[in-house]
Structure formats: structure tokens, C-alpha cells
Amino acid sequence: MTDVIEGLGRIVGQQHVITDKQKSAIYTEEPRGRYASDCLAVVLPETTEEVAEIVKFCGQQNLALVPQGGNTGAMGGAVANKDQLIVNFKRLNKIIEVNPTDYTMTVQAGCILANIQETAKRHDRLFPLSLGAQGSCQIGGNLATNAGGINVLHYGNTRDLVLGIEVVLSNGKISHGLNALRKNNTGYDLKNLFIGCEGTLGIITAAVLKLFPYPKGQVVSLTGLESIDSGVALLSRLKFASSDRLTTFELMSQIAVETAVKHIHGQTDPFDKPYPWYILAIVHSSEQDSHLKHHIEDTLATALGDGLIKDAVIAQNQTQAQRLILLREDIVEAQKFIGGSIKHDVSVPVSKVSEFMAHAYRTVKAFMPNALPYPYGHLGDGNIHFNISQPADMGKEKFLENWKAINTLMHDITHDYQGSFSAEHGIGISKLDEMDKYKDQTEMELYRQIKKLLDPKGLLNPGKMLR
């Protein structure tokens, strides 16, 4: 053990190897409090070469390592045990280059997402990945998990926002794939094998990201509706009205909005009366014109006129826009005020969301009549967080004992609708059973062969993604 710590210290400097349990607690605390995490030590490399040396050293020592970014992941992908090393990337945090002409930014894995967004903005460019944890999550973690967020509808998932990556392989070699070309049709698509692999095939240490023109104008609206079907119809109308510049189309249930208004200081519902469903829609425009706003206003007015929606507001300035966006952010935090939550991160085709949700409600209520479905999510891309809050008459622990049973019910239904049991949060250790149960067995076999090829000793984030 002393040899291992000394060996790591020789690579990164002894002060960057943490063995003290109090000091390592921020790396072993798991955000949802679902899993116990521990580690032999936390190592903080500053360069790609140091990461490569660490991986080589682990190979010699037969030591498993868990790559970790901002430790904000929801599926336990960065959880370790007492015999494993946590390699955290917070010191590998340089923005290597911004190229406004090429619309690219080259970054190291430990850069905080919000810093990347702000840097892009200073160059009048947008890096569109946007999610609740952006103030603390690292881009390396976003890449490893192919993170989603609220702008996927127009700009895509993390995978769609990357041109090239640098990866440290399990043998300690560095794969120099920092491609910045829009067109490069050579070879297999290794990039997309490593993105989303949750650190099980290789460790992404840097990436070339795609940038976009910074939207000078944005139209932010909130709509009250009676049904999901109307939401789906509104989605199409807004896509057309905005010439497909609709970036965000987020669904919130009445219970979610009411809970945020009740428990989050300063939060309000802009409407006079509650509605079963609310939709936050954002349209980006590269021009600061009022033309687009009028167009969206007209579209919403027509939808009101023909009864598709029941009420709507359009933010008139930046402050009002931020308030509406904050309502969507706050509903996540607010759920904690009404007790334990059994969470889901499922997706089905947009055309099936309405039927799927009705089915999910019926099934949950049949299983536990007083359970409180608290759904919200990214309706624009069919990804719904059909979360379920504990019944008022049941304790948190007792309720959470049903996690597995309720997950199984929900994921079975999702499967019946040709959906995914994990639309944006990944697999980690949370959804290993689901991988075995729902994924195509031929695909699973290929995954195992790829894992064996790229990580023959099984030292890269073992037990995550695949058993």
C-alpha cells in the first residue's frame, strides 16, 4: 500500500495523492446518497502524460481505477471501492484553444462545463450543452456519459457536439484524436465508442468541441395545457414557426410546478390558475429581431384561439426569461421537499409519450395507490423523468424499498413502447440489470468483446456499464 501511494506520488507529486478519508470525502460522496463509495486513494493528475503514467502504473500493480469528473453523475458511475483508485480530473482543466473561425474549442477533460459556456460566449459563440449540474460537472464526465440536458432538441447530445478526442488507453498509450475537421472520412468511428463508455474502454483527457453562433435573441415562453397530446401538437407548430430553431421544449406536471412554488423561495406560477401540464419552450435566433418574437406570439395566440393551449406567457426581458427557466430547474430540487423519489430517465418516441404516460400512471397507481407521480422532462426529444414521490402516509425508507419493483414496472412499460430505460443519465451501476434484461443479446456480446479488447485486464472502471 505504501509502495502504491509512493509510486503515484512520483507521478503526480505526493500532495496530489489523497489518502485522508476526510479529505477524500468530496470524491466519495455520491450525489443521490444511494451508494456507498470508498477508495484506496484519490489521484489528481495535471497532464495527459500523467494520466497515461497512472494507467500504466495501475496495470503493473493490477489496480482498478475509477475516472471521475465533477462527481455529479446520477447512476453511480464514479463510485469506487476501498481497493480502487479514484482519478479525478479537476487539475486537468485548461482551455487549450478557441477558434472562432472554425467554430471549435479544444479543452482538457477537467474543464467545468459553465466555464466552457462562458469562454465560448466571450468569443460570441455558443457551446450549447446545458444541464442542471453545469456549475460543477466537468466536460470529461459529460463526454464519458454522453450527457443530454435541455438543448438536445436542436443541438443534440454531447456526442453531436464533439469533433475529436484524446484518449488514454488501458495500456497507457495515448490516442491522439484531437481532430478539428468537419469532414474527415477516414477509419472506424472510435470517437463515438469512447464517448458514452463511462470510462470503461479508455479515459478521455481532451476534446475538440463544436461551437455555434451565440444566439443574439431568444424567445422564452411558458404555456399551460390540459393534455400531453396538445403539448406534442404544439411542439410541431413551434418547430415550424421557428424554422426549426426550437432548442428547448420542457414538460412540467402540475404537482412539480406547485411543489416548486410552495417550497422554493421566490418561485411563482405566472398563471392565474393551475394547469395539468406546463411547457417551457425556448427558441434561439442569431438575430436580435422582434420578428421572431412576433411569429412565436402569433403561433401561441392561434393555439390559444383554437383551444390547443389554455394560457401562455412570453418573457419580455432577460429577467423574466430567467425566471421561467428557473422554474424548470427548481422543480428538480423541489421534489426533495415532499420526501423520497424513485427516479426514472426513460424515453419513448414523441408520438407515444402521451399513451405511455397514461399507461405509466395507471400502473403506478395500481401498485401503490397513494404514490405521487411527479413527471417532468424533455418532451421535445421524448425523454421523460417519470419520477415518483413517496405517499404522504408512508415513511421515506419504506417507500424506497420499492425502488427496484417500481423501476421494473416502469422499464417494462417503456420497453413495450420501444423506448429506452436510460435516455440521458447512463448506466453506471444503477442499470446493470436492465442492460441484461432489455438490450439485444447480440449487442451485449459485442460490448463484452470490445471491453475485452480495449481493457483486457478489466481495470478501467470495472463493474460499470457491464457486469
Interface residue list for ligand 2HG (CB under 6 A): 132, 332, 343, 377, 385, 387
Secondary structure (3-state) at 144: helix
Q: Given phi > 0 = left and psi -120 to 50 = alpha, else beta, which region is 244?
A: left
Three-point CA angle 422, 426, 432, nearest 5°: 80
Q: Which is nearer to ligand 2HG, 381 or 455 (CB)?
A: 381
Which phi and psi (to 5°) does residue 82 adopt?
A: -65, -15
Q: Which H/E stretch holds residue 261?
A: helix 254-263
Query: How far is residue 39's CA from residue 291's CA, in Å, rounded to a whole number?
Result: 56
Q: Which is nearer to ligand 2HG, 160 or 329 (CB)?
A: 329
Q: Which is nearer to ligand 2HG, 141 or 377 (CB)?
A: 377
Do residues 29 and 71 make contact, with C-beta atoms less than 8 angstroms apart?
yes
Q: Which is nearer to ligand 2HG, 385 or 431 (CB)?
A: 385
Q: In the complex, what is the shortest distance from the CB of residue 132 to ligand 2HG, in angstroms, rounded to a whole number?
A: 5
- CA quadruple 384, 135, 239, 267: dihedral, nearest 10: 70
Q: Which is nearer to ligand 2HG, 295 or 343 (CB)?
A: 343
Q: Which is nearer to ligand 2HG, 200 or 387 (CB)?
A: 387
Which residue's CB atom is positioned nearest to ligand 2HG? 385
Joined grid coordinates for residue 397: 425508507
Q: In the complex, what is the shortest distance from the CB of residue 344 to ligand 2HG, in angstroms, rounded to a whole number?
A: 8
Q: Given phi > 0 = left and psi -120 to 50 = alpha, else beta, which region is 392?
A: alpha
Q: In the complex, what is the shortest distance from the CB of residue 193 to ligand 2HG, in angstroms, rounded to a whole number?
A: 24
Q: In the complex, what is the shortest distance from the CB of residue 178 to ligand 2HG, in angstroms, rounded to a whole number?
A: 29
What separation in angstroms does the CA of 136 have from each of 65, 158, 426? 22, 17, 18
Q: In the complex, what is the shortest distance from the CB of residue 14 to ligand 2HG, in angstroms, rounded to a whole number?
A: 38
Query: Between β-strands 125-126 and 95-99, what pairing exists: parallel, antiparallel or unpaired?
Result: unpaired
Q: In the complex, what is the shortest distance from the CB of residue 94 to ligand 2HG, in angstroms, rounded to a whole number?
A: 28
Q: Which is nearer to ligand 2HG, 110 or 377 (CB)?
A: 377
Do residues 257 and 327 make contact, with C-beta atoms less than 8 angstroms apart?
yes
Q: In the complex, what is the shortest distance from the CB of residue 341 to ligand 2HG, in angstroms, rounded to a whole number?
A: 7
